[in-house]
Structure 1
Amino acid sequence: MMKLDGVVAFVTTAEAGSISMAAKRLGLAKSVVSERLAELERTLGATLMQRSTRKLSLTNSGQTFLPRAQRILREAEEAASELAARSGKLAGPLRISAPVGFGILHLGPALGRFLRDYPDIELSLELDDSFVDAATGGFDAVLRHGAIGDGRLIARRLASSRRLLVASPGYLAEHGSPASLAELEHHRGILYSNRASDWRFADGTGWSVIRPKAGLRVNSGLVMRDAAISGLGIALLPSFFIYEAIAAGQLIEIGIGLQAEGAELFLTYPKDHGASAKIRAFAESLRRSFGYPPYWERAMAPHSQP
């Protein structure tokens, strides 16, 4: 009989790309994962993976079996979640991915609240600023800010956040404060390298787009914030990164008469997975922790430009 722990080992290894990474995600010894894979192959009478010292790849049998194995695990997990929800108790693993900066600044207290309410959930959080595919990345759900634009996904809105143009008092004293898009284009920009370097602003009829000169490109919102505080240029950042720096006078919001494209926060998961009771509970817990409007927007109110 095929054992579920062997299916878990196979799916995790296929999604992680190596037995070592799969063992790390599962919290098991590498030898245990290898043995479970070998037992699954013996049970199925087929080789699912080709192993070498350099890489691991799926055989034709493995490629055929993988989507079915993923479906088996999803259905088993969803069935367990439904039963737990009916009994008023949620339990078992929940694997979430989130951006690094937002996770560092805002997820610690929120996760504490969630796990106090649901102590039997085994939560695993991975912080990653690169694009994480919520449909194929091996996570139950992925937290994102900004547009989703992926028909394979369902997105549960968690909170809103504005994107604001900011710079240090020293930078603005030396270079002046731009009052229009035309003036803004002549300033040094601190740009996020994991998305298009365009800055988009609503102009009443659509979007106005500018491409500022890059003084710095970096794939971290926290580094962008700190670079702006240091006076390296103007940054366009979500309010959840900068609300404290604005309140402390380290950064000043720049008003050019146009609203920048926002940064809505979503919890996304694949349509074909369905929303398990755990995902629904996690999303609702985050909403309660962030508040409406979220606490970073409430803190910004006295300091916002008219």
Structure 2
Amino acid sequence: MDRFQAMATFVRVVDTGSFSAAARQLNVGQPAVSKTIAQLEDRLQVSLLLRSTHGLSPTEAGLRFYERARRAVEEAEEAELEARGAGGGLSGRLRVSAATTFARLHIIPRLPDFLARHPDLEMDVILDDRTIDLIAEGVDVSLRMGALPDSAATARRLASGGRSVVATPGYLARAGHPQVPADLAGHEAVVHSQLSNAWSFQRGGAQVSVAVHGRVRVSAAEGVRAAVLAGMGLTIASDWMFAPELASGAVVKVLADWSLPPLDLWAVFPTGRLASAKAREFAAFVEQALQE
């Protein structure tokens, strides 16, 4: 049994969820696929797949093997492309994670362009505001904002965006316009439950920190955004988060003459691994797209 071909077959079975679908994509008969997987399990002396009426899914050992096998197959495909001088065309599967709101507004709308450049590439886009374990989740590149929690992470800064206090004109008409940061103490603030309610501002050489309060705390950025747009209060956010509404006037900036620390966007790659060509290309694409 060809070990590499067996790994490639197993990866295709997991990706498609069935022997028959994998056989069609590999242009072989289903019995050949079943036999290859059986031989692979026999050689490894472990069960790799759970078989049920609902289809196939990897066992715990199968999932670990899948992640390593997938990367080996993809690296081999990329090596062939480079050797052939294929002009940078990418293939295989790219797994990307990003914060939900940022991805919905700025990444997903740009994916058609990226995929058009690489017609043999498939993508998994994982939307999650949490900092996830890239290796455990099999993620090739994660787009993260803010300070990196892991100083040892392999990361590339893609952009630096402004931050502002924003609110709807309707809310400000009811509650008034804050003139100085201290005025925020008397306003309703929509606060992300995982972030501090102490907002720090700078102007000239002065630095001011204000503890804000609101009746609503939200556990996800998408919820903060929705609450602000509903006129429930003001919030501090990246300009990326409210880009369409800032452009249309649906929300406006408050205390614009006071500055807030910028928010960096990073492409983070699994620690201890060489970033794949697909991950590097996607990071470069996002960096360029945000400059346009």
Fold match, TM over 0.5?
Answer: yes
State the match for 1:84 in structure 2. Answer: 81
Secondary structure of 1:85's partner? helix
| Residue 7 to residue 262, structure 1, CA distance change in 2 (3 Å) | farther
Compute the displacement of 1:77 (Å). 2.5
| Residue 90 to residue 230, structure 1, CA distance change in 2 (3 Å) | closer
State the match for 2:7 in structure 1. Answer: 4
Compute the displacement of 1:207 (Å). 7.4
Secondary structure of 1:158's partner? strand
Compute the displacement of 1:142 (Å). 1.1
Deviations 1:23-72 (A, max 9, x none): 5xx23139999x78765442222467999xxxx985xxx59x94x87555
Compute the displacement of 1:4 (Å). 0.7
State the match for 1:198 in structure 2. Answer: 197
Per the normalisation by structure 2, the TM-score is 0.75
State the match for 1:301 in structure 2. Answer: none
Which runs of 5 or more residues in structure 1 are unaligned?
10-21, 296-306
State the match for 1:108 in structure 2. Answer: 108
Secondary structure of 1:260's partner? coil
Secondary structure of 2:263's partner? coil
| Residue 44 to residue 229, structure 1, CA distance change in 2 (3 Å) | closer
**Bigger Rg over Cα:** 2
State the match for 2:164 in structure 1. Answer: 164
Compute the displacement of 1:73 (Å). 4.2
Q: Give matches, 1:90-239, under 5 Å.
A: 90-193=90-193, 195-201=194-200, 203=202, 209-239=209-239
Compute the displacement of 1:82 (Å). 3.2
Compute the displacement of 1:152 (Å). 4.3
| Residue 290 to residue 142, structure 1, CA distance change in 2 (3 Å) | same
Output the CA distance in 2 between the equivalents of 1:209 and 1:74.
Answer: 47
Equivalent AA in structure 1 for residue 184 of structure 2: L
Output the CA distance in 2 between the equivalents of 1:261 and 1:30.
Answer: 53
Output the CA distance in 1 between the equivalents of 2:286 and 2:70.
Answer: 25
Which runs of 5 or more residues in structure 2 are unaligned?
23-33, 52-57
State the match for 1:28 in structure 2. Answer: 17
Deviations 1:69-128 (A, max 9, x none): 755543443343233234223221111112221222122332111111111112222222
Secondary structure of 2:105's partner? helix
Whether the aligned pair in 2 keeps the contact of 1:94 and 1:123 (CA below 8 Å) is: yes
Output the CA distance in 1 between the equivalents of 2:236 and 2:219.
Answer: 13
| Residue 146 to residue 7, structure 1, CA distance change in 2 (3 Å) | farther
Output the CA distance in 1 between the equivalents of 2:91 and 2:219.
Answer: 35
Deviations 1:218-257 (A, max 9, x none): 2343432332232211111111121322232221211175
Whether the aligned pair in 2 keeps the contact of 1:96 and 1:126 (CA below 8 Å) is: yes
Output the CA distance in 2 between the equivalents of 1:49 and 1:158.
Answer: 39
Q: Give matches, 1:243-262, under 5 Å.
A: 243-255=243-255, 257-262=257-262
State the match for 2:27 in structure 1. Answer: none
Output the CA distance in 1 between the equivalents of 2:133 and 2:207.
Answer: 27
Output the CA distance in 1 between the equivalents of 2:270 and 2:68.
Answer: 12
Output the CA distance in 2 between the equivalents of 1:138 and 1:286.
Answer: 20
| Residue 110 to residue 206, structure 1, CA distance change in 2 (3 Å) | farther
Whether the aligned pair in 2 keeps the contact of 1:200 and 1:261 (CA below 8 Å) is: no
Aligned residue pairs, count: 270
Output the CA distance in 2 between the equivalents of 1:280 and 1:5.
Answer: 23
| Residue 71 to residue 278, structure 1, CA distance change in 2 (3 Å) | same
Whether the aligned pair in 2 keeps the contact of 1:189 and 1:215 (CA below 8 Å) is: yes
RMSD over aligned Cα atoms = 3.6
Per the normalisation by structure 1, the TM-score is 0.72
